[in-house]
Structure 1
Amino acid sequence: MPDLNECQICGRPAPPVPGQCDGVAGYRLIRDPWAAAPAFLDGYLHFSCLADSEKTPDFLAEFTRMLQAGHEEVESLNGTPPPHTRMGLGMTEIFSGAECSVFQSGIADHWMVVSRTGAWVRLRLDDLADISRGVVPRSPAGAFPYRLPADPHGKVDEYTFTELLAFMGVADRYPSLNDMMDIEYEFIDYYPPKRLLEYSVRAPLHIPAEASAFLARHAESYTPVSFEEDA
């Protein structure tokens, strides 16, 4: 069984960083084009690996279908009944360009920019305001639990994020994060028996220029989602 903490393409450690490495949960029932046998994708993906892979178009076809789908049946891995049932995100494609597509939620102020290279970026209402001002948005601060491939022997709380990536041997998979000025990294906790690291990271969310231009225009006429109790 694949290690969920490894990139499902290259098999190397894949600590999540918004805009650079993200995960697909198995319950989304997206077929894994990199698996040796039929399987649903479950784990992290380096976006740099996606950009280099010949199978990324197959992944994108499945991924973007899941983004737009509602409650639907998905054929089992061996093609025999019964089918599986999944809940897609129910988003709508509101822009399609040469480099990317933009999807919008109908129930929340959320957007997803999906590049032709396979990378995806989640955006919120505040991010649209930043884009309209010509500012690169940053991911919200959140805690990420991650199992390290080896014990750092008590040094992990002293590492910068660049040093952490170097310790795991994957600094080359996060090309735009080599400069620590790009991100805000904070060590939170480490549990040695399980090699479980918890950290927080805020990273710039770079999107294609065509998406920035579209979203800046879109923000001018967009009405935020409201609920009856907010009225």
Structure 2
Amino acid sequence: MAFIPVRELSWIAPSLLSGIVERGPQGVDQNSIEQYQLARYLLAESGPRPWTFLTYALLHEGWLHLGLNVVVLSALGTPVARRFGAARFLALFACGAIAGALMHLVVHPTGVAPLIGASAAVSACMGAAARFVFDPLARSGLQAPRLHHALRNRTVIAFTLGWFIANAMSGLGANPSVLANASIAWEAHIGGFLLGFLAFVLFDRPPVPFATGQEEALKSEADEEG
């Protein structure tokens, strides 16, 4: 169920996977040896498992990993679920996981470390939330700001930059051996966040219709908050 980037090379780029085997382990580098051994196994006895682009999100390293994702999802996923509805929210969650796996594959095409955890899917919810939670009208069910308007909102910009900086620090400041661990897959986080932020309109349902005068009242309240 875990996502292993190099496994998918057997159908995305079989020549690259074959090249790893032909070169053999270079020197005594442990990573090269692991790539060589896994590539041989994948070519001889295994094959691509495209479903792992999604199922890896169901696996976690332990209760701490799972608990952290649950806490963040409860905080930022709740408003998204209320706005989208169950079906659209689950679609966003699944697409966020897939986007995270794809980003991880792009950065680590020959990676042998399994990717697990729902962090990419949770990040997609964070990206989607950033599109409307900072807008009083959108929080009330009205149409969320368009992408170019959201990118002009200082709060949205600050939140997004802060999120990217935090992920960059986790990647640049961590030990390389730790980066191979699925619990700090910062590339997958970025892939999920971008999916939720940029593809928000594909999952958002039509704005809630308000009675005559109610929309104007909400706009007046929003102006007062501003």
Q: Please report the TM-score for the alignment, with normalisation by the length of structure 2.
A: 0.25
Higher helix residue share: 2
Larger Rg: 2
Q: Please report the TM-score for the alignment, with normalisation by the length of structure 1.
A: 0.25
